[in-house]
Amino acid sequence: MATTRREFLKKMTASWHLVPRVVRYPINTIGATAGIYSAIAGLTDLGVKIAVETRDLPYKEDGLAVLVSYGTDAILDTALKHPGKLFLPAYIGSIELAFEQRANIVKTAATKQDFLDVLVDDSIQNIVLFGHGSWGSWLATDELVKTNDLYKYRFHLYDAEAKKKQRRNYKTGFLKRGILVRHTCGLNQMVEKAYFKSSEKDWNEFTTIAHSLSKIVSSISNGKIKVNTGMQSSSTYEREGERESIQINYDFYTDDMTRDDKNRERVVINSPADVNLFHEQLITELTARDKPLNDNWKEKITDYINEIKKYIDKHYIVGPWENEVLGRPFYRREQIRGWAEVTTPLHFLLNPLGNK
């Protein structure tokens, strides 16, 4: 795998004196478009040097893919378009040096589908994304790709395999073995938010309580009313041993509806106070469709509601929330690298493995 940054820079600078001065000392010109233009143009010579260094690198079983997006929304990109082509050989070579292997796939003008394809390609375990982006997104040539898109894609893959009776483990069945490096900006990493956080053990106990409540509701309504409980999947972390989510959902639906039916009624719990709303809604739903509840049923429902309140009170947090980083859930958090700041191509050239 990748060398240390010190070793990588040593390889990169083996013939540093051959590289134009404007590339070696870009700091004085980085603020001006003309300076950046000249610096990138000067990378032609550096690209030749790196090509010599990488020509004997092997292709490895855990392959490497580099996806370069031409998605653009900045005026400066127009000025950099042509010299950017001169930047690519040095850029690709620097990545290969860092990974100590040749790239199996190099895609320019890479699209969202190109990214999805390499995610499910078992011969590709390491991926580098270049272009505009943030902590949780990458602007592909054709459209913006967000973390939520990857969660939806994994669900689609899992669902398709399940229908063929080839079901694999939902959490680990699609995990990559290598790393994903985000060569993008990394803004919007942290936000202030109210959310729920619990251990996997506590979450399992909570779902057991919720399932018991659902059985009672079904029994009272003679199967006419069901309650589905879950964390909002698009905002839920699936870290090892813990769960984090911005909300917990309770869906009410009748026996002639599906869980995806638009007519279902949803109660969203974003805070402890919302549990009372859920309790009131539940009683209303039951009494509206059946005879008045006797005290025994009411007491049982109240007992379960109180257990739910205990869970909510214990695991409700208001504070810094780290947005889900792009690459989840196909990579574990520790397998994803990049930056949490505004970046330039020089960041990626001189430190291909990122710093975060």
Q: What is the pLDDT of residue 235?
A: 45
- pLDDT for 155 equals 84
- Residues of the chain with pLDDT below 70 are 1-48, 71-85, 165-171, 224, 226, 228-266, 288-292
Contacts of 184 (CB under 8 A, 6+ apart): 129, 130, 131, 132, 133, 134, 138, 139, 338, 339, 343
Chain segment 297-331, per-residue pLDDT in tens: 888 888 888 888 888 888 888 888 788 899 999 99
Provide the whole-model pTM. 0.69
139: CB partners within 8 A, 6+ apart:
69, 71, 72, 73, 131, 132, 133, 145, 184
What is the DSSP-derived secondary structure letter of residue 174? T
Q: Where are the domains of the chain?
A: 5-189+325-350, 192-318
pLDDT, tens digit, for every residue of 72-118? 655 555 555 666 667 788 889 999 999 999 999 999 889 999 999 99
Please tell me the predicted confidence (pLDDT) of residue 78. 59
